[in-house]
Amino acid sequence: MLADRRGSVLPQERGELSAAIIGYLRGGTPLPGDGVVPAAEPYGDDLHLALYVCYELHYRGFADVDPACEWDPALLSVRRSIENRFLTTLRWDATHHDTTDDAMAELLVEPVRGHGVSHFLRDEGELWQLREYAAQRSLYHLKEADPHAWVLPRLRGRAKAGMAAVEFDEYGGGRAERVHARLFAELMTDLGLDTTYGHYLDAASAQMLATVNVMSLFGLHRALRGALVGHFAAVEVTSSPASARLAEAMRRTGAGPAAEFFYDEHVEADAVHEQIVRREVIGGLLEEEPQLDAEIAFGIDATGHLEDRLADHLLGAWREGRSSLRPDGPRVAGLPVHEQGHK
């Protein structure tokens, strides 16, 4: 069977686990042995690159990989082991609330001024840092809304209708030029970045990969539908104020009109989406399946936990004048060469 030539190329491995997965997809090596997955750091580069590569087979795939690998039973078995390693740790570290109401109440409290990435970028971020932020986030935003679409067949009634309404907006309301993934590509163009799908995978940090992987994890498993709705709620509730700060950052640094427009669009759209998600999606799901209350709360908590880890990584590097990108990935414009890729 011919490979799908529309996909990106396989990335560079980051350890024994990802090397085995990537080698297997290339057709030259066996899958990892029994002890490899348990030994992998649950938030580390090796595990999350391996998981990201497995999940990407369900999206656009890779140009050098047979599309039939998407449903390879042996690969799915290893992926399940990787997922369990990640999910078990995430449940232990990020289960803070028993109910959706409690999790939502905390979510509605804005972070202390200056403690978040959007605060930093608005107040003191430089253009090279905005470029890095966009390069990292491109792993999600170039397929924005796709992971959440997996949940639609698993909902019904108000929850399904509300979720479909929000997703319709994310996909441009029927207009290709308004699809949010396309708007993000235009933002990247303003910032002088390569808009090729998956281009910055080798540069993306483990923390960034984990924030994307958790969406795919929740989306691809019906049993985790409540967690995906919780994740979606966390994104929509926090998006509008953060987008307002990021739009200010783009204006202050002269990033360009498309860069400003992407975040201005999210300020307005996500303020409306928040209400739909809270009243219709969460309200409807709990009305139909009240037993998912704690699972929705977990999805909210897990999202915050992984975003906090990403923020610590980004801000820790930037406040020291270092790049947040991995050294063996593509560079972005603006950062002095001697600082590019430092960990």
Q: Where are the domains of the chain?
A: 16-92, 97-339
Architecture field, domain 97-339: Up-down Bundle (1.20)
At residue 332, the pLDDT reads 80
Q: Which residues pair with 62 in a beta bridge?
A: 8
The pTM assigned to this predicted structure is 0.93
At residue 3, the pLDDT reads 37
At residue 328, the pLDDT reads 82
Q: Are residues 183 and 250 in contact, defined by beta-carbon separation less than 8 angstroms?
A: no
At residue 64, the pLDDT reads 87
Strands (E), 244-285: none
What b/e sequence results for 272-304 when a residue is b if at least 16 CB atoms lie within 10 Å of its CB, and e otherwise? ebbebbbebbbbbbbeebeebbbbbbbbbbbbb
Per-residue confidence in pLDDT tens, the chain, 343 aa: 233 346 789 999 999 999 999 999 998 799 999 999 999 999 999 999 999 999 999 999 999 899 999 999 999 999 999 999 999 999 999 999 999 999 999 887 765 454 699 999 999 999 999 999 999 999 999 999 999 999 999 999 999 999 999 999 999 999 999 999 999 999 999 999 999 999 999 999 999 999 999 999 999 999 999 999 999 999 998 888 999 999 999 999 999 999 999 999 888 777 778 889 999 999 999 999 999 999 999 999 999 999 999 999 999 999 999 999 999 888 786 654 435 444 3
∠150-144-274 over CA atoms, to 5°?
A: 85
At residue 339, the pLDDT reads 52
At residue 10, the pLDDT reads 96
At residue 341, the pLDDT reads 43
At residue 214, the pLDDT reads 98
**Of 264, 221, 254, 283, nearest to 79 (Cα)?**
221
